[in-house]
Chain A
Amino acid sequence: MSIDKNLLHLTEAEQREIQEIVASYPHPKAASLDALLLIQAKRRYISDDMLAAIATLIGISVAELDELATFYNLIYRKPVGQNVILLCDSISCWIMGRDAIECAIKQQLQIEVGETDREGQFTLLPIVCLGHCDHAPAMLINKQLYGDVTQDEVKSLLERHKHGETECSTP
């Protein structure tokens, strides 16, 4: 069997893990999302090379996989920082002052929504209601959920996640 050169972008361990996911579903295509999330957890975002490698392993076309990758909010097709801030912009958080939190974060990091700071530490993205509306405003930094966030607290929250975090940026 010839080895597809696309696969060289993934480690052997990664290839094995994806094959295991594929085997766990009755149809290979169903493994697409799990595979994308798995690789993103290790590599922070899905580059074109990764996309091609995953598609090859699953046995679908790159276009088919990209159609999914670009549809979902939590699959990143562009590089993101070490930490991803998902700040809720839905209704209850909006009522409770999430716009002021957004301003504080933007000011602290000197970025706009959708951007990554110069040090490559933080990316700020909007997110749909996090199911924490009774503690609005709410946000996720990586896997950590925060509620009742205040403007004053933004700086120290960000400090806490700076450098120290090694876990993946996908919630």
Chain B
Amino acid sequence: MQHPLTMHCRPVLSDLSQPVGCDSYRFEVARQIIGKVDRNYLLDVVEQSGLAGCGGGSFPTGRKWRLYPPQSERPGPRYFIINADEMEPGTFKDRLLLEDETSLLIEGIILSAYILDANECYVFVRGEYQLAIERLMAGIEQAKMAGLLGTDILGSKFCLDIHVHRGAGRYICGEETALLNSLEGRRPVPRAKPPYPQVSGLWGAPTIVNNVETVANIPNIIKNGAQWYRSLGRNGGVGTKIFGVSGRVMRPGTYELPMGTTMRELIEDHAGGMRSGYRLRAVLPGGASTAFLSAEQLDTPMTPAAMMKSGTRLGTGTAIILDDQTCPVGFIANLQRFFARESCGFCTPCRDGLPWVSQILDRIEAGKGRAEDLDRLSDLQNTLAAGNTFCALAPGAMASLQSGLSLFRDDFVRHIEQGACPWK
């Protein structure tokens, strides 16, 4: 099995003291490409590879890049931004790449910026990722020394600077237009779209925002071709994906596997199955903003399309396991508390609705639920659905609530009827 994304990773991720050897990284692909290969050809390769954004939305990267106006149309500053704000609960894949595949990521940035003809890059890293920030700074220095950053790179007239921007912690900063406001020093609330960032992004200039993992795929796609990348996937998926599993499994962790690996294989073969004494009840397949996949649906291949068919989304690809000894109401209450706290407060349904949802759930979990609470939750879930709020945060929050209310209806009812949490 090929692991193009995680080739250099530490065997034991928890061993943070061991820096991984990047000093020898040669930026081979960038050296062969920059100034030598036509941008349009490279853009075709990225598009044909079928690479889809790994930040949670699975939007085709080639299609997104096509909307970026060429230098001839829009001269002046042109931005390429890496979204390394990873704050989606249960998601821990970008940290792996930032810390252990720093040079691969930097080469991905250089190649992507070259294809787009962007000359300024900001890597927006969440402030808590201290080690990632240090390694990025070191990696950027190294790339500079190697002559791959700065002006007239490899004699090609292409110029690129990479800046590391440290975030100060708010989930909404991961939403790409809020991220732009944050970078500009404005209050980080999302912007209205259109205009899309490709046309009017950072300081009004053409801007592309991509996730860390998306960009780390670029060097290998350019090196080995679109066909190679497509062939890595299974069950209708393309490429590889860094999947993750957390919760009460034998081996929680990150696993780079073919896109389209089934959820059951991920959990049972790679993560070693459930710990003894625990049974799986349901899974959030890709972070806190995805809907539950039930135990009966575990054979769903992990591709954006198949997950959609099963009523959920691939999201970030990091699965959170709900086991039989964890209260599903408490589980959902924890998720909604997060969303209520992280609402940016810009639009009313989300600002007022999420705390309401959260309070009702806390009340039910505490055994003080009322008969009408479930109807109230269903109402709120409609109020906060896609299209009713300014950004995707609130609809994302509703994914687990809606699927949870139907999947665990009996458990909700038991809490209310018994006046106590059966798991306590």
Contacts and interface: CB of A to CB of B under 8 A. Distances in A.
30 contacts: A26-B77, A27-B185, A29-B185, A31-B185, A32-B185, A34-B166, A71-B188, A73-B169, A73-B170, A86-B128, A89-B334, A90-B89, A91-B90, A91-B331, A92-B89, A92-B90, A92-B320, A94-B330, A94-B334, A95-B248, A127-B128, A129-B88, A129-B91, A133-B246, A134-B253, A135-B252, A143-B130, A145-B16, A148-B14, A171-B127
Given A91-B331, A95-B331, A143-B130, A72 B244 contact: no
A130 interface: yes
Interface string A80-99: 00000010011110111000
B92 A133 contact: yes
B338 A91 contact: yes
Nearest to A29: B185
Interface of A: 24, 26-27, 29-34, 36-37, 60, 67-68, 71-75, 86, 89-92, 94-96, 127-136, 140, 143, 145, 147-148, 170-171
A30 B184 CA distance: 4
B203 A26 contact: yes
A134 B187 contact: no
Interface string B158-184: 000001011111110000000000111
Interface of B: 13-14, 16, 77, 86-92, 94-95, 127-131, 163, 165-171, 182-188, 203, 244-248, 252-254, 284, 288, 318, 320-323, 326, 330-331, 334-335, 337-338, 342
A126 to B, nearest CB: 8
A68 B288 contact: no
Given A68-B187, A95-B247, A128-B171, 6 more contacts: A73-B170, A91-B288, A91-B334, A92-B246, A129-B87, A135-B14
A29 B79 CA distance: 18
Given A71-B188, A91-B334, A131 B94 contact: yes
B168 A36 contact: yes
Nearest to A94: B334
A67 B345 CA distance: 13
Contact of A71 (B94, B95, B187, B252): B187
A74 B203 contact: no
B169 A72 contact: yes
Contacts of A86: 128
Interface centre among B13, B86, B168, B330 (most CB of A within 10 A): B168
Contacts of A68: 185-187
The 10 closest A-B pairs by CB, nearest first: A73-B169, A72-B168, A29-B185, A90-B89, A133-B246, A134-B252, A92-B246, A32-B185, A131-B95, A129-B89
B90 A129 contact: yes
A160 to B, nearest CB: 15
Nearest to B13: A134
